[in-house]
Amino acid sequence: MIGLIQRVSEANVTVDNNIIGEIGHGMLVLLGVEKDDGDAEIEKLANKLCRYRMFSDSDGKMNLNVEQVEGEILVVSQFTLVADTQRGNRPGFSRGASPAHGEDIYSRFVGALKQKGMRVQTGEFGADMKVGLINDGPVTFQFHV
C-alpha cells in the first residue's frame, strides 16, 4: 500500500463536475493499493497518518498531527501510485490490486481512519476524478507499507 500525503489548506475531488469530497485545513491522501495488501497494511498506514507530525506548532516546527490541529483528511484512490516505472516508456501495473480488492481495501482504510476519530471525506473509487488542492508548504510525504 502506498500513501502519498500532502499537507493542504484546502482540497476537493470532483466527479462529473460535482464536488463529492471537500476539506479545509488537513491532509490529502492519494492511496495506491497493491495486490497483497490486507489488514496489516491498512492498520499500519492508518496509524501512521493519524500520528504523523507534519503540521507546524507555534514555533513553526512540524510537531503536530492532523488531530492536534483539528484537521480533516481527504482520501482519493490512485492506482497509478503502484506503477512499475523502471523499464521502458510505459508504466506497468502488475503490482496493483484487482479492482474488487482495491475497492475493498480502500473502503476499509477509510473506515479505519473514521474509527480512529478522523474527519474523512473521499473520492469515488474507480471514477475519473479531478483533484484540486492548495499544498501548504509545500509539504508532501510518501509511505510504502
- Which one of the listed residues 80, 85, 93, 142 is annotated catalytic? 80
For strands 72-77 and 2-15, give the pairing.
Answer: unpaired
| Cβ–Cβ under 8 Å, residues 30 and 132 | no
Identify whether 79 is a catalytic site residue: yes
DSSP structure class, residue 125: T
- Those residues whose C-beta lies under 8 Å from the C-beta of residue 127, and which sit 6 or more positions away, are 15
DSSP structure class, residue 80: G
- 59, amino acid identity: D
Identify whether 142 is a catalytic site residue: no
Cell output for 57? 506548532
- Which one of the listed residues 6, 14, 78, 121 is annotated catalytic? 78
Task: Report residue 126: phi and psi, to 5°.
Answer: 80, -5
Three-state DSSP state, 25: coil
Identify whether 140 is a catalytic site residue: no
- Which one of the listed residues 55, 79, 109, 125 is annotated catalytic? 79
Active site residues: 78-80
